[in-house]
């Protein structure tokens, strides 16, 4: 018979793609549970298993994951629809998680977890076969190992960003050795895997096949991506402003400066399900006309007419959309809707027709907006071929991380230089180390003109929207800056099934006054 595994390890072991997850007392071959030596008998088997890691990892930012609910929760976009947890986790006041089997949105809390650990499990099994020399990859071994270590960093780093705790598990361990540890320990492990990938790929001359990461990736580019992810993950893992400021900003700057030198895009083809029905579909619905509006809680800071301050002073249930009048040319120009339709902005346009989703007033008219984003519109301009690219890691994000470290270190002139690079390109006045803001963009809810720090945040938000970590830079930045609305979930609990297997009661986070619920934010909401 099958021996019972300790509860603490059964949940993780169940994720292993192949390999021993239990012992057999009888000498009987079970064709429904093949061991690794038979399932991964050739170099091609091992490489295929490992190579699928990147596509599987993109599921962590999928429509079915927490991607859209966190985008709504951080005001990166707005929509009245109940899909993907958007309406429920976007409510005011904020709701806590419902980490319960059968809940309509529980899949959005657990999807990233299980897909990230499928990556970890696949890499574990593949590398064990290589380490034991059951299969030999010859001149492709360095390439495969470098990619595998990169994927371990990507998968576990994503767990550390999203969840309060998780398992650190690799090819050197057995399932019984894995125990739940906190997110700082998980992130430390992820950074270590990235370092191993960098060591393996530095100076190598391989090129990853296009099927591995949606297009060919050279060893040099893989090194840059590993540095870029180290930089963004070190910053984004913070749950509070105290944690964010305490991050190793010297290391972050070093990795950011060694990161990408050109924006790195992930290719997609919606005619091929494996390159569409995952993380790309999340961006589809975050940007699709009829699914996306700009949320006035943040977008309103562009306004110079006073309507934003009036809107903020109105009871939430009575707030209605308003026309933003601003010198920021990323927004439509003109004093009213008619003028702005004729003068679309460089990034945003006035929505109309089917794209004006002023639906379900019972779910809050405060969700409604005149504007939709069309900068880096991802799927909105796919055309007839349903294929294209989405920016996964950008140069401006790397520069912003360096500038943020400069701010904490008091190198304010460097921060002003970063801000002015995009600010003045879009019709706004230049700033300086003192934070001069003649254009008064952003104009805060209290009517004051944003200082240098607020101008920095404004530029980073607009220049990295729908990109950044897990396509949710707005959420992770706002979490670390203290900008989230009160009660917004700061991280996710271990999925209920895993909690039960670890002999813990399932638990919940978020909600006003709740554990891991954001305190009152910077802007008073």
Q: Rounded to whole angstroms, how far apart are CA atoms 223 and 196?
A: 10
At 13 the pLDDT is 44
At 355 the pLDDT is 82
At 379 the pLDDT is 57
Q: Looking at residues 23-37, what average pLDDT do you find?
A: 39
151 sits in which H/E element: helix 141-162
pTM of the predicted structure, to 2 decimals: 0.93
pLDDT, tens digit, 9 for 90 and up, residues 105-146: 999 999 999 999 999 999 999 999 999 888 899 999 999 999
pLDDT at 373 over 80: yes
Q: Looking at residues 281-303, what average pLDDT do you find?
A: 91
Q: Looking at residues 29-36, what average pLDDT do you find?
A: 45
pLDDT at 5 over 50: no
At 389 the pLDDT is 82
pLDDT at 165 over 90: yes
pLDDT, tens digit, 9 for 90 and up, residues 453-462: 999 999 999 9
456 sits in which H/E element: helix 452-464
Domain residues of the chain, as ranges?
A: 1-263+487-525, 296-388
At 26 the pLDDT is 27
pLDDT, tens digit, 9 for 90 and up, residues 78-106: 999 999 999 999 999 999 999 999 999 99
pLDDT, tens digit, 9 for 90 and up, residues 219-233: 999 999 999 999 999
pLDDT band at 415 (very low <50, low <70, confident <90, very high): very high
Residue 115 in contact with residue 64, Cβ under 8 Å? no
Between 514 and 276, the higher pLDDT residue: 514
pLDDT, tens digit, 9 for 90 and up, residues 430-446: 999 999 999 999 999 99
Q: Is 347 helix (H, G, I), strand (E, B) or coil?
A: coil
Q: Looking at residues 202-224, what average pLDDT do you find?
A: 97
End-to-end CA distance of the chain: 58
Q: Looking at residues 359-374, what average pLDDT do you find?
A: 96
Between 30 and 392, the higher pLDDT residue: 392
Percent of residues, the chain, with pLDDT higher than 70? 89
Percent of residues, the chain, with pLDDT higher than 90? 79
Q: Rounded to whole angstroms, how far apart are CA atoms 200 and 303?
A: 50
Q: Rounded to whole angstroms, how far apart are CA atoms 87 and 98?
A: 14
Q: Looking at residues 481-501, what average pLDDT do you find?
A: 96
Distances from the Cα of 468 to the Cαs of 32, 59, 149, 393, in angstroms?
Answer: 41, 16, 21, 7
Exposure letters 315-344 (e unless 16+ CB within 10 A, then b): eeeebebbbbbbbbebbbbeeeeeebeeee
Residue 243 in contact with residue 187, Cβ under 8 Å? no
Which one is the CATH code of 1-263+487-525: 1.10.150, 1.25.40, 1.10.3470, 2.40.128? 1.25.40
Q: Is 192 helix (H, G, I), strand (E, B) or coil?
A: helix
pLDDT at 19 over 70: no
At 133 the pLDDT is 85
Residue 508 in contact with residue 514, Cβ under 8 Å? yes
Q: Looking at residues 192-221, what average pLDDT do you find?
A: 97
pLDDT at 450 over 90: yes
What tokens does 524 get?
């008073």
pLDDT at 6 over 60: no
Calculate the average pLDDT of the chain: 90
pLDDT at 326 over 70: yes
What tokens does 60 get?
């962590």
pLDDT band at 280 (very low <50, low <70, confident <90, very high): confident
Residue 85 in contact with residue 78, Cβ under 8 Å? no
Q: Rounded to whole angstroms, how far apart are CA atoms 235 and 255?
A: 11
At 12 the pLDDT is 54
At 284 the pLDDT is 82
pLDDT, tens digit, 9 for 90 and up, residues 310-325: 999 999 999 999 999 9
At 180 the pLDDT is 94
Q: Looking at residues 475-487, what average pLDDT do you find?
A: 98
pLDDT at 7 over 50: no
């Amino acid at each position: 018979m099958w021996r019972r595994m300790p509860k603490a390890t059964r949940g993780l072991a169940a994720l292993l793609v192949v390999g021993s997850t239990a012992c057999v007392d009888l000498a009987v071959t079970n064709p429904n549970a093949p061991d690794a030596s038979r399932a991964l008998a050739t170099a091609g088997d091992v490489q295929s298993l490992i190579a699928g890691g990147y596509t599987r990892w993109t599921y962590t930012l999928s429509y079915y994951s927490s991607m859209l609910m966190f985008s709504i929760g951080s005001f990166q976009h707005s929509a009245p629809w109940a899909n993907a947890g958007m309406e429920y986790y976007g409510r005011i006041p904020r709701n806590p998680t419902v980490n319960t089997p059968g809940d309509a949105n529980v899949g959005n809390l657990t999807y990233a977890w299980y897909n990230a650990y499928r990556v970890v499990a696949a890499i574990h099994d593949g590398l064990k076969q290589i380490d034991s020399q059951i299969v030999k990859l010859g001149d492709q071994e360095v390439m495969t190992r470098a990619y595998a270590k990169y994927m371990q960093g990507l998968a576990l780093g994503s767990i550390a960003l999203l969840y309060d705790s998780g398992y650190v598990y690799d090819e050197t361990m057995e399932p019984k050795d894995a125990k739940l540890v906190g997110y700082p320990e998980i992130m430390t492990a992820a950074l270590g895997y990235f370092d191993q990938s960098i060591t393996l790929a530095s100076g190598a001359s391989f090129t990853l096949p296009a099927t591995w990461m949606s297009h060919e990736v050279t060893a040099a580019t893989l090194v840059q991506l590993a540095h870029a992810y180290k930089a963004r993950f070190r910053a984004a893992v913070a749950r509070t402003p105290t944690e964010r400021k305490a991050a190793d900003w010297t290391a972050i700057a070093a990795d950011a400066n060694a990161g990408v030198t050109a924006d790195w895009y992930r290719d997609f083809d919606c005619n091929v399900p494996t390159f569409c029905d995952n993380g790309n579909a999340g961006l589809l619905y975050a940007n699709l006309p009829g699914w996306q509006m700009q949320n006035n809680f943040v977008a309103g800071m562009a306004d110079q007419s006073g309507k934003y301050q009036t809107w903020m002073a109105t009871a939430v249930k009575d707030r209605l959309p308003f026309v933003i009048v601003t010198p920021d040319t990323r927004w439509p120009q003109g004093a009213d809707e008619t003028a702005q339709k004729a003068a679309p902005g460089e990034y945003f346009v006035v929505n109309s027709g089917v794209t004006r989703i002023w639906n379900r007033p019972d779910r809050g008219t405060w969700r409604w907006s005149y504007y939709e984003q069309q900068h880096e519109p991802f799927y909105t301009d796919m055309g007839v071929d349903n294929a294209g690219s989405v920016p996964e890691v950008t140069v401006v994000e790397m520069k912003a991380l360096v500038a943020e470290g400069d701010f904490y270190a008091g190198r304010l002139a460097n921060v002003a230089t970063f801000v002015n690079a995009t600010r003045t390109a879009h019709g706004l006045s230049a700033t300086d180390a003192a934070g001069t803001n003649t254009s008064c963009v952003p104009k805060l809810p209290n009517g004051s003109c944003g200082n240098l720090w607020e101008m920095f945040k404004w530029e980073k938000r607009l220049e990295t929207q729908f990109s950044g970590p897990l396509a949710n830079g707005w959420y992770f930045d706002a979490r670390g800056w203290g900008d989230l609305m009160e009660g917004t979930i700061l991280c996710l609990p271990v999925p209920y099934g895993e909690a039960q297997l670890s002999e813990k009661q399932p638990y919940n986070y978020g909600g006003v006054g709740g554990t891991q619920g954001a305190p009152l934010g910077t802007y008073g909401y």
